[in-house]
C-alpha cells in the first residue's frame, strides 16, 4: 500500500514537512497549495527536494469553487485552473484535487456541472493531468460522495475521476454501500481522516478536530476495506486538519501518521485473510497490496509497574503500608527491587545505579526503612512512573509489531543468562514492556527471588498523565500496540481547570488505563525524559483488593498518610445514596470514597503523593465498571490544597 | 444593582473563590455544590467566612433531576431535597436553584410536574427556602423559559418561582417577549452569561464556552433591560462555565466578571435614561437600582503608539526608513522621543531613564543613528509595544469610567507645568492612555517641539498579541473602555499553529486593533510586565499612506530590511486576480502584498522584526475594509523562517 500525507497535517515550513514525511517513511505527499505559496523555494526546487528525499508528489490540493457557475465566471475559473496545471507541470505532478463548489456556485443543474467538468477535463488532457473531484461535506450543491460520483460518471472523461475522503462521508453518516459501484480506476485519490464523536457544525469539526485513523471514533478499517474492494490501488493518504498537530513537533506527527496507516493496512489485511476462505466474487481482483503485521491479542493483564525514585525510603514505606511484601533485589542490579501484593507487582528503581544499593534484610517480607529519608509529599522528590509491563500472549510478536509500527526500543542492560524483557517508549516517554503471560508468576521475577503470595490482589488500573499535544498519539499507540479500546472521554473538574480523561481498556477489564490531559499546558509539565523533571501532574497506580476495610486498617496501623476526604463529602453521600449509617461511619472513619453503578459498588482510598506518583486502593463489588469518576474532583481538590499549601 | 457570581466561574478552592469575589467587589456569590463538597471546611465555617468578607450567599446550586418522575423516585428526590434544605439552613441560605430534569424524567405531564413542584414548595416552606425553577436548554421535557414559567404559574406556591438564565434562553434563540408576562417577584433569581456564536451542541457550548457579558455575541443589555422591566430587583449573577477561566488567575477573573456587570448595568441605565422621556406604562415601577457610568463615545483615532526599546539605533533607523520625521526629545525626559508621519505618531522610550539620553541633533527632521547599535531582527532586543494613546471626546470622563470599571491607573511622573495624560493597564499589560482629541495635533506634543507634517498618513491599525487565558477579558476591556466593537474572529494558519484573530474596531474605522492569540500557550510567551521579557509573539503597527510605491521607494533608498515575499506568492496572485502585468511587476519589485474586496484594494508591505515589534505600511484604495488576511500566512511563514534560522 502506497502511503501519502498532506502537508497541511504537519507544522513547520514546506521543507521541514517534506523532510519529516520522508524520514517517517511515507512514499509520497499531497502538496497543500498554501504551503507552496509561502515557501521561498521555487516549484522546481521543491520538486527536486522531494525527488531527493524519495517522495512522490501525489496530489496538488485543493482547487476550489470551480463548477456550477455562470459562463463568465467559468472562463475565469478555467484560466485559474490552467495556471495551476502549468505550475503542476513544472513540478511533475499529475493529479489535482477539485473540491465541490462551496462559495461561488449559483447553478444546481447536473447538465451545467457535467459540461463544465468535461471542459475542465479537456484542458487537463492538454497538460496530462487527472482531476479528482471530491464532494465536500459543506459543498453548496454537491455534498455527498455518490452525487459527486454520479456527476463524474456522467462526465465520462478519462481525466475526470473522483476523490473519496473518509471525513466528508463519515461525518455526514452517509450510506457507504454505493462505494462498491465505483470502479477502482475512477477513484483518482483516497484521503483518510478519523474524528472524535462531536456534535458541532461539520466545517469546524473538519478544520480543527480531525485525527489520524485509530485516534477517533470511526471504523476506518471497514472504510478502507470497502475502497480496496473497488480495485483502487493508488496512494492511501492522510488529510488531517488538527489544531494540536499544527503546533506539535513535525517529525513526531509524521511518525504518528504513518503508524496509523500501517495499523489500518494490517487491519484490512487481517480482515481480508479472514474472508479468504469464504466465496468471493466481484471486482476484487486487482487488489490493493496490503502488508500484514504480527497480530496481537489484548493483554492478559498488567505484570508490573516500574517506579523510579530518588526517595526510596518514602516510596517503599508507602508500598509497605499498602500491604505489599518485599520480594527481593534484582540479583545483578542491586538498585532494582521487587514488591508484590498478590498479582500486583511494583518494581522500584533508583536512578543512580548500584552505589545506592540497600542492605538486604534477612526477612524479605519486611524491609528496614532508612530513617533519614524525607516523608511523602516531598515535592523535591523525583519519583515517577517509569514503565509498565504487560502480560501478552506472544511477547516476541508484540515487540516485532511495535517496531514495525515505528516505535523506539528501550535500551536494556542484561546479564547473559537473564530473561530478556523487551519494550518500547510510549508517546509520554514511559516504557512499555511485553512479557509472555501464562497466568502464573512471570519468569523474570525469578531474578528477584521467590515470595509466594496468593492474596486476591492485582493492579486494577494505572492512571497516566499525557501531554496535551500528544494525546491522540497515545490513543493510537495503545490501540495499535496492545489492541486496547478507547472509551468515550470525560472532563473532570479540578481547582486548576478541567482534566480531560479517556480510558484505554481491554474488553475483559484486565487492563485499564485512564489517560489524563492536565490543564497545565506548559511544555515541561509532563516531561519524563531522563534528566528532566518528571510529570508534574501526578499519575497513580490503583491496586485491587477484596476487602478495602482490612487494607485500610493495615495501612492505618502502618502509619499511611491518607489523602484526606472532607466531611462535606460524606454528608453529600448520605443525601445521594441510601447507605446504612454503619457503612457511612466506616467509610468516614477510613477516608474511603464510595460510588455505585447499575452493576455494583466501588470503594476506594488514596495515598498522599510522592514526587509525581500516588496510589489508590480499590475494591470492586459485583461488577462495578467505572473508576469512581464522581469522586475524582474530591481527590483533585485535596491534591490542589496540598500543592498550594506546601 | 446587587452583583453576584457563581463559584464555578472561578478557579481555585472555595476559600480562594470567596476571597477573590469579595476583593473584586461582588455583593454575593452562588455556591456551586461541588465546591462545597470538596472543601475541608464545614458549611458553618464557609458561611462565617462569607460573612466576614461581606458576601451574601445568594443561591445554592444546583439541585438536579427532581420533577416528572414516578412516585417512588419522587420520594427519594424529596428526601434528597430535604437534606439540601437542612444544609442550606446551616449556612443561612434561602434560595436554591432547581434545574429542569435532564436525566431521570419519565413523565411529560404538566399535572404531575405541577403537583411535584407544589409538594416541594410545601417542604421548602418548612425550611424558609425559595425554589428557583429554571429550564435548562437541554432539559428532557422542560427546555424553554416560558414553559418553566407556565409551570411555576400553575404551581402557584409562594416558595416556587423561576430562575432566568440568559444562556439557556439566548442559545436556543427563544422569543424573549414573554419575559414581560412574568411578575418580577416571581423571578427568584437571574443568571447572566454571554457566549460566542458557535454552531455546536448546546450542552458542550454551555459547559465550555460561556463568557462574561460583553465578551460574546449576544445582546445582554437588551436581555437585562427586559428582566429589569418586570420589576425584578434581586441579585444579577454571573454563571459562566469556561475552560480558560477555570485555569486562569482567580482574582483577575473575578475583576473581569464584575467589570462585565458594571458595564452592563451602565448600558441598561443609559438606555433607561434614553427612554425616560417617552411615555412609560406597565410594571416598571419597582425598578432595579442601576448605577450609571460616565458615558464614552468611540475614539476619534489613535494619537500615538509608544514603543519601549533597548535598541534605539535599530528602531529609530527603521522608523526613519518608513518616512517618519523626528520631532524631538521630551523637554524634561530626554529618554523619550517623538516621531511623526502625518498624523501617525510614535513615542520611543528607552527603559533605563535619563542616563541613556541621546545628543539632540540640530536638524530635528533627521537624527544621527548610533553606528554601533545592532541591526533589526536582534532577538535579544527588548523592544516592545508599551502603550497606545487614544483620542477621545472627553479624556477625564474616559479615565473616570475606566477606574470605576476596576482598572489600574498607570503611574506617571510629570513636571508641574505639563499636560497630564492619564491611562490604565490593559489585560495584556500594555498601557491605554486617553487624550482629548480635537482633530488637530494633541496638546501633549508641545512638550516635544513642533514639526509640521501635513502628509496623509496615520496609524491604520495596531495588531496586539493576547495571552490565551485573558483573551475574552481583552475583548470586554476594549468594549467597555473605548466602546469598540468586536468583529467575528478568524483563524490564521502559521507554521507553528493557528493564530486566532479578532478585530476590535470603531464604527468609522478610525480605530482598528486586531487581537491575536498566539499558538504558544506557555505562560511567559506574552508577558509584558516590567522586568520580564516582552511578548515573544510579535505585535505590529500599521501605518496608512496614500502612495505605497513612493513609501516603498523611500524605504529602499534608506536601506529598509523588508520582510521578503516569496515569488510563489506573486505567481499565485496572478492566478487569483486579473492584475495588469505592470502592476504585478511593481508589487514584486517592492515586496508589496495585494488584496481586494468588494469595496476596493489593499496594498501593504512589512518590515523585519525588532524585539517583538515590526511595522506594516498600508495603502487602502476606495474603501477596502479588511486587513489583508489572505496574506497573513505569507507573513507568518516568513517570520517563522527568520526565527528558526536565527
| Domain limits, chain B | 3-275, 301-548
Find the residue in A nearest to B636 (Cα): A38
Q: Does the B3-275 domain belong in CATH 3.20.20.150?
A: yes
B495 contacts A13? CB cut-off 8 A = yes
What pLDDT digit, counting tens, does each position of A230-285 carry?
A: 999 999 999 999 888 888 889 999 999 999 999 999 999 998 887 765 544 444 44
| 3 state SS of B456 | coil
Judge whether A237 and A192 are in contact, CB under 8 Å.
yes
Res. B373 pLDDT band, cuts 50 70 90? very low
Q: What is the largest CA-CA distance in chain A?
A: 94
Tell me: is residue B134 an annotated ligand-binding position: yes
Provide the pLDDT for residue A273: 82
Phi and psi at residue B385, to the nearest 5°: -80, 115
Tell me: is residue B456 an annotated ligand-binding position: no
Contacts of B200 in chain A (CB under 8 A): 198-201, 204
| pTM of the predicted model as reported, rounded to 2 decimal places | 0.90
Res. A80 pLDDT band, cuts 50 70 90? very high
Provide the pLDDT for residue A645: 63
What pLDDT digit, counting tens, does each position of B408-419 carry?
A: 999 886 666 667
Residue B126: Cβ-neighbour burial (10 angstroms; 0-12, 13-18, 19+): exposed
> With pLDDT > 90 as the criterion, what percentage of chain B qualifies?
74
Contacts of A41 in chain B (CB under 8 A): 566
Residue B378 CB contacts under 8 Å (≥ 6 apart), including other chains: B311, B314, B610, B611
Q: Is the pLDDT of residue A78 over 60?
A: yes
Per-residue pLDDT averaged across A514-518, rounded? 89
Judge whether A263 and A224 are in contact, CB under 8 Å.
no
Provide the pLDDT for residue A356: 39
Contacts of B40 in chain A (CB under 8 A): 564, 566-568, 638, 641
Distance from B245 to chain A by nearest Cα, in Å?
A: 8
Per-residue pLDDT averaged across B520-528, rounded? 44
Tell me: is residue B111 an annotated ligand-binding position: no
Q: Is the pLDDT of residue B460 over 90?
A: yes
Domain A3-276: CATH architecture, name and number where available: Alpha-Beta Barrel (3.20)
Q: How far apart are CA B636 and CA B492, in angstroms?
A: 9
Distance from B199 to chain A by nearest Cα, in Å?
A: 5
Bond from prior residue into B62 cis (ω within 30 degrees of 0): yes
Find the residue in A nearest to B14 (Cα): A495
CATH number corresponding to A301-645: 3.10.180.10
Q: How far apart are CA A169 and CA A54, in angstroms?
A: 32
| Closest partner CB to B567 (pick from A34, A42, A634) | A42
β-bridge partners, B605: B617
Q: Is the pLDDT of residue B324 over 90?
A: yes
Instruction: To the nearest 10°, report the CA torsion of A313, A319, A322, A325.
Output: -110
DSSP string for residues in B80-127: HHHHHHHHHHHHT--EEEEEPPSSS-----HHHHHHHHHHHHHHHHHH
Q: Is the pLDDT of residue B522 over 70?
A: no
| Closest partner CB to B37 (pick from A41, A42, A569) | A569
Find the residue in B nearest to A83 (Cα): B575
Q: How far apart are CA B26 and CA B29, in angstroms?
A: 8
Res. A128 pLDDT band, cuts 50 70 90? very high
Q: How far apart are CA A477 and CA A425, in angstroms?
A: 10
Per-residue pLDDT averaged across B157-186, rounded? 97
| 3 state SS of A624 | coil
Contacts of B636 in chain A (CB under 8 A): 38
Q: Is the pLDDT of residue A368 over 60?
A: no
A575 contacts B12? CB cut-off 8 A = no
Residue B434 CB contacts under 8 Å (≥ 6 apart), including other chains: B389, B390, B392, B395, B398, B399, B402, B421, B422, B423
Res. A432 pLDDT band, cuts 50 70 90? very high
Tell me: is residue B461 an annotated ligand-binding position: yes
Which of B258, B264, B257, B197 has the alpha carbon at shortest distance from B226? B264
* Residue linked to cell 487565558: B469
Q: What does the H/E/C string look like for B366-387? A: CCCCCCCCCCCCCCCCCCEEEE
Per-residue pLDDT averaged across B359-380, rounded? 39
Distance from A570 to chain B by nearest Cα, in Å?
A: 8
Provide the pLDDT for residue B646: 52
What pLDDT digit, counting tens, does each position of B60-73 carry?
A: 999 999 999 999 99
**Quick one: cell of B350?**
528607552
Q: Is the pLDDT of residue A222 over 80?
A: yes
Query: What does the angle CA B598 – CA B603 – CA B609 come to, to the nearest 5 degrees?
Result: 135
Query: What does the angle CA B506 – CA B508 – CA B512 come to, to the nearest 5 degrees?
Result: 45
Per-residue pLDDT averaged across B633-639, rounded? 93
Which of A404, A322, A234, A356 has the alpha carbon at shortest distance from A607? A322
| Closest partner CB to B200 (pick from A80, A199, A636) | A199
Phi and psi at residue A97, to the nearest 5°: -90, 125
A519 contacts B575? CB cut-off 8 A = no
Distance from A112 to chain B by nearest Cα, in Å?
A: 23
Q: How many CB pairs under 8 A join A and B?
A: 151
Distance from B428 to chain A by nearest Cα, in Å?
A: 19
Tell me: is residue B191 an annotated ligand-binding position: yes
What pLDDT digit, counting tens, does each position of B238-252 carry?
A: 999 988 888 888 999
For residue A41, what are the CA distances in angstroms to A88, B66, B567?
Answer: 15, 66, 8
Provide the pLDDT for residue B286: 52
| Dihedral sign, Cα of residue A364, residue A366, residue A372, residue A373 | positive
CATH class, range B301-548: alpha beta
For residue B380, what are the CA distances in angstroms to A421, B123, B522, B533, B563?
Answer: 49, 69, 19, 10, 19
Contacts of A638 in chain B (CB under 8 A): 38, 40
Q: Is the pLDDT of residue B165 over 50?
A: yes
Q: Which of A509-518, B345-354, B514-523 has the lowest mean pLDDT?
A: B514-523
Per-residue pLDDT averaged across B610-632, rounded? 95
β-bridge partners, A304: A389
Q: How far apart are CA B463 and CA B426, in angstroms?
A: 14
| 3 state SS of B455 | coil
Best mutation site among A75, A568, A581 for testing chain B: the one with the most B CBs within 10 Å?
A568
Provide the pLDDT for residue B190: 98
Provide the pLDDT for residue A638: 92
B521 contacts A522? CB cut-off 8 A = yes
Res. B381 pLDDT band, cuts 50 70 90? low
Is the model more confident about A274 or about A465? A465
Q: What does the H/E/C string look like for B553-590? A: HHHHHCCCCECCCCHHHHHHHHHHCCCCHHHHHHHHHC
Which of B614, B639, B638 has the alpha carbon at shortest distance from B305? B614
> With pLDDT > 90 as the criterion, what percentage of chain A qualifies?
75
Res. B366 pLDDT band, cuts 50 70 90? very low
Mean residue pLDDT across chain B: 89
Per-residue pLDDT averaged across B202-213, rounded? 90
Phi and psi at residue A285, to the nearest 5°: -90, -55
For residue B599, what are the CA distances in angstroms to A65, A150, B371, B602?
Answer: 21, 39, 45, 10
What pLDDT digit, counting tens, does each position of A541-560 carry?
A: 999 999 999 999 999 999 99
User: Residue A277: how many CB atoms within 10 A of its CB?
Assistant: 7
A207 contacts B491? CB cut-off 8 A = yes
Provide the pLDDT for residue A217: 94
Which of B314, B313, B312 has the alpha carbon at shortest distance from B376? B314
Q: Is the pLDDT of residue A146 over 90?
A: yes
Mean residue pLDDT across chain A: 89
| Closest partner CB to B575 (pick from A41, A83, A493) | A83
Provide the pLDDT for residue A533: 37
Distance from B514 to chain A by nearest Cα, in Å?
A: 21
| Dihedral sign, Cα of residue B248, residue B250, residue B256, residue B261 | positive
Tell me: is residue B355 an annotated ligand-binding position: no
For residue A334, what are the CA distances in angstroms to A230, A330, A419?
Answer: 60, 6, 17
For residue B223, what are the CA distances in angstroms to A56, B7, B30, B180, B218?
Answer: 59, 23, 21, 11, 9
Is the model more confident about A310 or about B274? A310
A637 contacts B39? CB cut-off 8 A = yes
- The pairs formed by B392-396 with CB atoms below 8 angstroms and a separation of 24 or more are B392/B296, B392/B297, B392/B299, B392/B300, B392/B434, B392/B435, B392/B436, B392/B437, B392/B482, B393/B296, B393/B297, B393/B300, B393/B436, B393/B437, B394/B294, B394/B296, B394/B436, B395/B421, B395/B422, B395/B434, B395/B435, B395/B436
Tell me: is residue B125 an annotated ligand-binding position: no
Residue B361 CB contacts under 8 Å (≥ 6 apart), including other chains: B326, B367, B368
Find the residue in A nearest to B569 (Cα): A37
**Quick one: cell of A48?**
527536486
Provide the pLDDT for residue A243: 86
> With pLDDT > 70 as the criterion, what percentage of chain A qualifies?
89
Res. B531 pLDDT band, cuts 50 70 90? very low
Find the residue in A nearest to B40 (Cα): A566
Best mutation site among A241, A495, A636 for testing chain B: the one with the most B CBs within 10 Å?
A495
B247 contacts A519? CB cut-off 8 A = yes
Residue A119: Cβ-neighbour burial (10 angstroms; 0-12, 13-18, 19+): middle
Q: Indicate the DSSP class of residue A100.
A: P
Distance from B43 to chain A by nearest Cα, in Å?
A: 8
ipTM: 0.87
Res. B533 pLDDT band, cuts 50 70 90? very low
* Residue linked to cell 470525560: A490
Q: How far is CA B146 from the centre of its chain?
A: 32
Res. A646 pLDDT band, cuts 50 70 90? low
| Closest partner CB to B12 (pick from A207, A495, A519) | A495
Amino acid at each position: 500500500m502506497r502511503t501519502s500525507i498532506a502537508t497541511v497535517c504537519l507544522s513547520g515550513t514546506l521543507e521541514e514537512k517534506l523532510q519529516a514525511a520522508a524520514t517517517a517513511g511515507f512514499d509520497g505527499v499531497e502538496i497543500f497549495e498554501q504551503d507552496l505559496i509561502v515557501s521561498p523555494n521555487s516549484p522546481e526546487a521543491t520538486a527536486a527536494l522531494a525527488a531527493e528525499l524519495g517522495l512522490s508528489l501525489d496530489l496538488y490540493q485543493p482547487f476550489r469553487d470551480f463548477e456550477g457557475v455562470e459562463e463568465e465566471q467559468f472562463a475565469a475559473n478555467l484560466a485559474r485552473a490552467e495556471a495551476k496545471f502549468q505550475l503542476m507541470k513544472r513540478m511533475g505532478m499529475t493529479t489535482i484535487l477539485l473540491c465541490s463548489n462551496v462559495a461561488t456556485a449559483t447553478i444546481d443543474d447536473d447538465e451545467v456541472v457535467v459540461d463544465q467538468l468535461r471542459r475542465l477535463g479537456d484542458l487537463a488532457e492538454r497538460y496530462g493531468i487527472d482531476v479528482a473531484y471530491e464532494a465536500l461535506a459543506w459543498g453548496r450543491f454537491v455534498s455527498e460522495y455518490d452525487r459527486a460520483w454520479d456527476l463524474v460518471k456522467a462526465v465520462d472523461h478519462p481525466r475526470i475521476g473522483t476523490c473519496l475522503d473518509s471525513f466528508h462521508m463519515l461525518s455526514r453518516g452517509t450510506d457507504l454501500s454505493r462505494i462498491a459501484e465505483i470502479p477502482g480506476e475512477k477513484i483518482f485519490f483516497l484521503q483518510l481522516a478519523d474524528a472524535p464523536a462531536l456534535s458541532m457544525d461539520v466545517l469546524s469539526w473538519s478544520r480543527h478536530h480531525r485525527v489520524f485513523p485509530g485516534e477517533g471514533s470511526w471504523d476506518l478499517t471497514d472504510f478502507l476495506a470497502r475502497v480496496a474492494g473497488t480495485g483502487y490501488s493508488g496512494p492511501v493518504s492522510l488529510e488531517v486538519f488538527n489544531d494540536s498537530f499544527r503546533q506539535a513537533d513535525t517529525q513526531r506527527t509524521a511518525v504518528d501518521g504513518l503508524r496509523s496507516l500501517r495499523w489500518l493496512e494490517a487491519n484490512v489485511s487481517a480482515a481480508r485473510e479472514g474472508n479468504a476462505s469464504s466465496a468471493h466474487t466481484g471486482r476484487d481482483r486487482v487488489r490493493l497490496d496490503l502488508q500484514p503485521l504480527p497480530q496481537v491479542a489484548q493483554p492478559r493483564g498488567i505484570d508490573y509497574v516500574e517506579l523510579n525514585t530518588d526517595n526510596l525510603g518514602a516510596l517503599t514505606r508507602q508500598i509497605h503500608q499498602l500491604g505489599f511484601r518485599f520480594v527481593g533485589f534484582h540479583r545483578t542490579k542491586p538498585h532494582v527491587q521487587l514488591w508484590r501484593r498478590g498479582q500486583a507487582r511494583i518494581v522500584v528503581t533508583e536512578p543512580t545505579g548500584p552505589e545506592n544499593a540497600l542492605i538486604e534484610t534477612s526477612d524479605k517480607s519486611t524491609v528496614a526503612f532508612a530513617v533519614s529519608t524525607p516523608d511523602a509529599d516531598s515535592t523535591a522528590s523525583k519519583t515517577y512512573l517509569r514503565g509498565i509491563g504487560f502480560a501478552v500472549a506472544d511477547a516476541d510478536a508484540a515487540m516485532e509489531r511495535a517496531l514495525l509500527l515505528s516505535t523506539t526500543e528501550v535500551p536494556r542492560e542484561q546479564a547473559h543468562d537473564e530473561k530478556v524483557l523487551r519494550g518500547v517508549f510510549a508517546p509520554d516517554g514511559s516504557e512499555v514492556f511485553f512479557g509472555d503471560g501464562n497466568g502464573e508468576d512471570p519468569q523474570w521475577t525469578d531474578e528477584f527471588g521467590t515470595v509466594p503470595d496468593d492474596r486476591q490482589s492485582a493492579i486494577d488500573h494505572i492512571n497516566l498523565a499525557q501531554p496535551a499535544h500528544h494525546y491522540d498519539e497515545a490513543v493510537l499507540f495503545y490501540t495499535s500496540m496492545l489492541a486496547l479500546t478507547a472509551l468515550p472521554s470525560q472532563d473532570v473538574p479540578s481547582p486548576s481547570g478541567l482534566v480531560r480523561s479517556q480510558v484505554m481498556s481491554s474488553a475483559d477489564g484486565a487492563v485499564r488505563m485512564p489517560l489524563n490531559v492536565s490543564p497545565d499546558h506548559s511544555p515541561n509539565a509532563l516531561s519524563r525524559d531522563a534528566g528532566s523533571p518528571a510529570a508534574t501532574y501526578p499519575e497513580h497506580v490503583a491496586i485491587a483488593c477484596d476487602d478495602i476495610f482490612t487494607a485500610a486498617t493495615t495501612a492505618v496501623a502502618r502509619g499511611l498518610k491518607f489523602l484526606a476526604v472532607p466531611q462535606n463529602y460524606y454528608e453529600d453521600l448520605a443525601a445521594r445514596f441510601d447507605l446504612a449509617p454503619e457503612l457511612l461511619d466506616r467509610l468516614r472513619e477510613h477516608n474511603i470514597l464510595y460510588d455505585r453503578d447499575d452493576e455494583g459498588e466501588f470503594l476506594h482510598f488514596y495515598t498522599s503523593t510522592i514526587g509525581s506518583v500516588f496510589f489508590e486502593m480499590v475494591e470492586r463489588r459485583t461488577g462495578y465498571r467505572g473508576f469512581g469518576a464522581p469522586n475524582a474532583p474530591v481527590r483533585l481538590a485535596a491534591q490542589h490544597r496540598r500543592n498550594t499549601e506546601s
